[in-house]
């Protein structure tokens, strides 16, 4: 299976699909969420995005579906291209796919010895090899601190720079070997996952793209339209939570002249929805998922 969709029914139910509506799945992947949305659509429309060319092999043949091989930060551009002024719902599953994790040539997993790539869109020039060998020590430390939230980011950056002076870091094994002395015993997998996460966020500008999606999604939604987002780490979840609650990324709720709170969205989920025990057993990779749903006022 290319990818097992996380919180599938909860997310699509959160969209409250209207048969004649227009919906956007900004992370098509294996097409799991899109397939369920289409099953609930009548003569409505679904626009799907994915930067990974491998995902295009999973395209469902359905005249109601348009799949765009581009980053979802260009949401508004493509909605205008296809003459969709406003939409009824937007769904985003921000995790990397099982296909990406399990494909050695993609370099997404520390456990697989391969070139460390980490590009979602392989048309891009910047990959992890360039970052690890060309970024200076201060910048590497900043990435590991800000995107992995690791307390020993400075030491990790120093170890990477020391290693690359002797041997270029090209593979996942090279990276793991370079920082081995700084990995806490008993927490190797979790620690390395955060290191890889930091590099992936930098390469793919994941947080910048997410901010663009939230802003453009707010403007693209009709009143009563739903925004449904599944996150997998605290950096993503914080941005989504703040934006849904306040309409900005700082979480500051604005007030009008009379002191009335002004909010763009009404929260459908007061607290995030997480996978059931049954789903965790079926798909352990879903364990960090958090689903948040908001409706535009």
Whether this model's pTM surpasses 0.85? yes
Q: Which of 1-15, 120-134, 192-206 has the lowest mean pLDDT?
A: 1-15
Tell me if 12 sits within 8 A of 106, measured CB to CB.
no
What is the rounded CA–CA span in Å between residue 43 and residue 91?
Answer: 19
The sheet carrying 22-25 orders its strands as 65-68, 45-49, 22-25, 87-93, 221-231, 290-296, 265-267
What is the rounded CA–CA span in Å between residue 274 and residue 123?
Answer: 34
Q: Do domains 8-98+206-296 and 104-204 have the same CATH topology?
A: no
Note the pLDDT of residue 124.
92
Q: Domain limits of the chain?
A: 8-98+206-296, 104-204
Q: Which of 120-134, 214-228, 248-262 has the lowest mean pLDDT?
A: 248-262
Query: Which CA distances in Å does 11 have to 15, 204, 227, 285?
Result: 7, 24, 10, 17
**Dihedral angle over CA of 175, 178, 182, 183, nearest 10:** 40
Q: Is the pLDDT of residue 255 over 80?
A: no
CATH pick for 8-98+206-296 out of 3.30.70.20, 3.40.50.10860, 3.40.50.720, 3.40.50.150: 3.40.50.150
CATH no. for 104-204: 1.10.150.170
């Amino acid at each position: 299976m290319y990818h097992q969709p996380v919180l599938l029914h909860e997310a699509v139910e959160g969209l409250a699909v209207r048969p004649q509506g227009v919906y956007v799945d900004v992370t098509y992947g294996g097409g799991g969420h899109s397939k369920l949305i289409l099953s609930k659509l009548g003569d409505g429309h679904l626009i799907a995005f994915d930067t990974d060319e491998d995902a295009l092999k999973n395209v469902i043949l359905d005249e109601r579906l348009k799949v765009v091989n581009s980053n979802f930060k260009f949401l508004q551009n493509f909605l205008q291209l296809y003459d969709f002024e406003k939409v009824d719902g937007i769904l985003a599953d921000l995790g990397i796919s099982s296909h990406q994790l399990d494909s050695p040539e993609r370099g997404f997993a520390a456990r697989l010895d391969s070139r460390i790539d980490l590009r979602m869109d392989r048309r891009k020039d910047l990959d992890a090899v360039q970052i690890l060998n060309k970024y200076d020590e201060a910048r590497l430390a900043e990435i590991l601190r800000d995107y992995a939230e690791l307390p020993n980011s400075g030491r990790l950056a120093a170890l990477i720079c020391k290693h690359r002076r002797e041997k270029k870091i090209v593979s996942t094994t090279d990276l793991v070997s370079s920082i081995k002395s700084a990995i806490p015993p008993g927490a190797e997998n979790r620690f390395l996952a955060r290191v890889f996460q930091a590099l992936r966020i930098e390469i793919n500008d994941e947080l910048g793209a997410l901010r663009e999606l939230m802003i453009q999604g707010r403007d693209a939604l009709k009143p009563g339209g739903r925004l449904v987002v599944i996150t997998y780490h605290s950096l993503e979840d914080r941005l989504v939570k703040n934006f849904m609650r306040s309409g900005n990324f700082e979480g500051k709720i604005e007030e009008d002249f009379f002191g009335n709170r002004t909010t763009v969205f009404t929260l459908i989920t007061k607290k995030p929805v997480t996978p059931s025990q049954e789903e965790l057993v079926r798909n352990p990779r879903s364990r960090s998922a958090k689903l948040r749903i908001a409706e535009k006022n």
